[in-house]
Structure 1
Amino acid sequence: MSEKEISILIEKYKNGTLTAEESAFLNAWYLNYANEQQSSFDPADLDPNLDLMWNAIEGSLSEHGFRHERLKPVAKTSLWPRIAAAASVILVMGVALYFFNTEHTKVPVTTDMAQTEIKPGGNRAFLTLADGSRISLNDAANGELASQAGITITKTKNGQLIYTIAEQQSVKPGNLYNTIETPRGGQYQINLPDGSKVWLNAETKLKFPVTFADKKERKVELSGEAYFEVAKLKTQGIKMPFIVSSSGQKVEVLGTHFNVNAYRDENNTKTTLLEGLVRVSGLLTPHGAILKPGQQASLSATALTLKNVDTEQAIAWKNGLFMFNNEPLSHVMKEVSRWYNVEVEYKGDFSAVVIGGSVSKFTNIKEVLDVLALAGKISFKTAGNKVIVSPLTD
């Protein structure tokens, strides 16, 4: 955005005539300047307007229920750093998101939405027990759900599923398995019998033994995406490995935090390590690779590659965010479709469009699509449970 364009937006801001899109662009320019310090435009020229803008941002934060006690009032001369310091919070709520196309050219766009309200997903899942019984976890009351092989299954008031050993002596060896599945528009957290914690993203399935007591390894099967915090466990003084098996891939750990994205409609299976060490191997790469924290393994049909990544982006879904960094529009819309349980129809070629930025998952789809429209030359409209993506018409 040129200095002239910024000056025009500032004048419109003073006159109170900024549109929502123009306000987003102006906020984005402030955040970009704070991060890059490359613009020749002097932010000191904007001092008369900074207090007004900051008050508006703080008001929006409060309105959306965000706490910002750490952003203490300071003198006017240091108001600009306050905006920079608040950038992460603002990005979360979508007040100052910035999105761009391949040429990074920002253009105003519009979103045409039908009256039908499409709400975000929530804690929804189904638990299938070893005897074939199927429990809808969003309908089930809190408290004890079932007891099998000496294991008690409990649903907590905040939507977690916990397995606890009721009586050690009553744990019966055997190949008994449970399966938890989240639908499109669902997510869930489960504490496995060994104490490991697993967060399941939308449209995800996890199969696991009722007990690991009689096993030499803790093996679970995953389809979809999940974040694991694996508990360290020993049997007879020997560390018991934890293995996540997904389509064409095996991840082996002893105690660590990592994320596995193994959706069947994605080209690659991605494993991102946040803490500890994991070994990733595929059917065509039997020796695999050892990941260190901050690395991501990407397994395709022919190769396994490693790279350093932003781990916050990899687990943004777990923390209630959509977060993208130059991601193809098709990938972005896959995430949106899973979470809001909608179909996506493209009217045109959008292969050159990439998206960057973040927005809360727990908002109406209209707000998310309004922000995505800022990618440039894109408009959205809904028809029932379908989102239609079209080129922006002049």
Structure 2
Amino acid sequence: MINPKIENLIIKFLTNQASASELDELELWIQDSNNNLLFNTYVKINYAIEFNMRKFDINKAKDKLNEEIGNDKKVIKLKKIRQKIRYAAAITIGILATSYFFKGNLFDTSVDNGQKVTKTIEAGTDKATLTLDDGSIILLEKGDAYQTHNVSSNGEQIVYNDTEINTNNIKYNYLTIPRGGQFFIKLSDGTKVWLNSESQLKYPVCFKKGGARQVELVYGEAYFDVSPSTNHNGAKFKVLNQTQEIEVLGTEFNIKSYKDETNIYTTLVEGKVEINTSKGKQLLVPNQQSNLNITNNDISISVVNIKEVVSWVHGDFVFQNKPLKDIIKVLSRWYDIEIEIENKSLEDIKFNGELSKSQNLEEILLLIKNTNYINQYELNNKKVILK
């Protein structure tokens, strides 16, 4: 039996009315495994949630949110649900979807033997397609192993060994990451590369001894942790990418270069890189980002928040003053779904938020919807329409 005080905290949490101190208190209570079970059982009892929600002034809560939005210059905050509460409360989303409190359909439902079946859009996972130099294609998925004399994969990453080869016959592989996927690769020189959804990397099976180490980010987004040139007799590391070439000595940096975008963003985390384009060279220092417009090759340099740029590598989405139209691009790639904004005036509304990539799509859409700018949304097969 949950005591009235804790019950009150749970309802406040579910209706976004809990203060920071109340969230801390609820989080501490849920840490106990018995309480965790009580929490989930309580949430499953739908009538109890609906009954207690009537005790709260919903309009007052919405007015308070609108006031906060106005004070923050129209930048809306997407609150990151605390880790322990989020995992304990994962089941609540399905129940809230049927509650009278929310107007929109949060899930795609179909009828199976006379009963409604809920279909959720799950988060992306580790998967890739490996194309060998002879054209052979290997599917790499979590749980499936792939092994040859110089490469191994467990379905979550692929690792190449540094082996002696005929330097006159360099063989190249392609690693292609689909929408809804991500993958890690360790090249033969020890360089580590994290590849985001909808990306492709071309690289030699083994680098030519004595020559520059060169790979190509054909498209997409990649984070490089380059093995220092001092470990390879001074051999430099180069990344080719559309209309630019990046030369590094030993560093960590991120490149974002998607096929459906006209700008390439190169962000330096540490070390030193030189960007070469048809209009000259640009040197980046840590925390700087270059923005190359591929339509005219104009390039600009700015200081950026590194955490926001590379958050995807660490399993998060971090948005700072990010327009909704840019956010849905990120979500579309990771969840492999089309997202359309029906009311075009909403496209430039800006959000701040830090969310987990492991959350299902409905949890994130629910947070966006609760800003009151989005009245509802529809989920039809592989398409979401924000209204």
Give the TM-score normalised by the residue count of structure 1. Answer: 0.71
Give the TM-score normalised by the residue count of structure 2. Answer: 0.73
- C-alpha contact 1:256 1:275 (8 A) present in aligned 2: yes
SS of residue paired to 1:317:
helix
Aligned length: 311
Q: Which moved more, 1:196-205 or 1:228-237?
A: 228-237
Is 1:377–2:373 an aligned residue pair? yes
The residue aligned with 2:27 is 57
Shift of 1:120: 0.5
C-alpha distance in 1, partners of 2:69/2:135? Answer: 47
Q: How does 1:24-39 map to 2 (within 5 A)?
A: 26-27=18-19, 30=20
- C-alpha contact 2:143 2:154 (8 A) present in aligned 1: no
Shift of 1:15: 7.7
Change in Cα spacing, 1:217 to 1:105, as seen in structure 2 (3 Å) is closer
- C-alpha contact 1:109 1:376 (8 A) present in aligned 2: no
C-alpha distance in 1, partners of 2:69/2:336? Answer: 23
C-alpha distance in 2, partners of 1:134/1:59? Answer: 51
Q: Deviations over 1:178-211 (max 9, x none)?
A: 0000000000000011110000000000001122
Shift of 1:214: 4.2
SS of residue paired to 1:316:
helix
Shift of 1:327: 0.7
Shift of 1:352: 2.9
C-alpha distance in 2, partners of 1:249/1:58? Answer: 51
C-alpha distance in 1, partners of 2:142/2:170? Answer: 28
C-alpha distance in 1, partners of 2:275/2:377? Answer: 39
Change in Cα spacing, 1:206 to 1:21, as seen in structure 2 (3 Å) is farther
Identity %: 31
The residue aligned with 1:18 is 12
- C-alpha contact 1:118 1:364 (8 A) present in aligned 2: yes
Which runs of no fewer than 5 residues in structure 1 stay unpaired?
1-10, 31-49, 64-97
The residue aligned with 1:44 is none
The residue aligned with 2:64 is none
- C-alpha contact 1:143 1:155 (8 A) present in aligned 2: yes
Root-mean-square deviation (CA), in Å? Answer: 3.0
Change in Cα spacing, 1:116 to 1:16, as seen in structure 2 (3 Å) is closer
Is 1:136–2:134 an aligned residue pair? no
Q: Which amino acid aligns with 2:286?
A: P
The residue aligned with 1:290 is 283
SS of residue paired to 1:274:
strand
The residue aligned with 1:259 is 254
Q: Deviations over 1:47-93 (max 9, x none)?
A: xxx3x431213456788xxxxxxxxxxxxxxxxxxxxxxxxxxxxxx
Shift of 1:306: 1.1
- C-alpha contact 2:184 2:195 (8 A) present in aligned 1: yes
- C-alpha contact 2:76 2:352 (8 A) present in aligned 1: no
C-alpha distance in 2, partners of 1:189/1:294? Answer: 23
SS of residue paired to 1:371:
helix
- C-alpha contact 2:177 2:199 (8 A) present in aligned 1: yes
Change in Cα spacing, 1:130 to 1:105, as seen in structure 2 (3 Å) is closer
Select the structure with the greater relative contact order (CA < 8 A; seq sep ≥ 6): 1
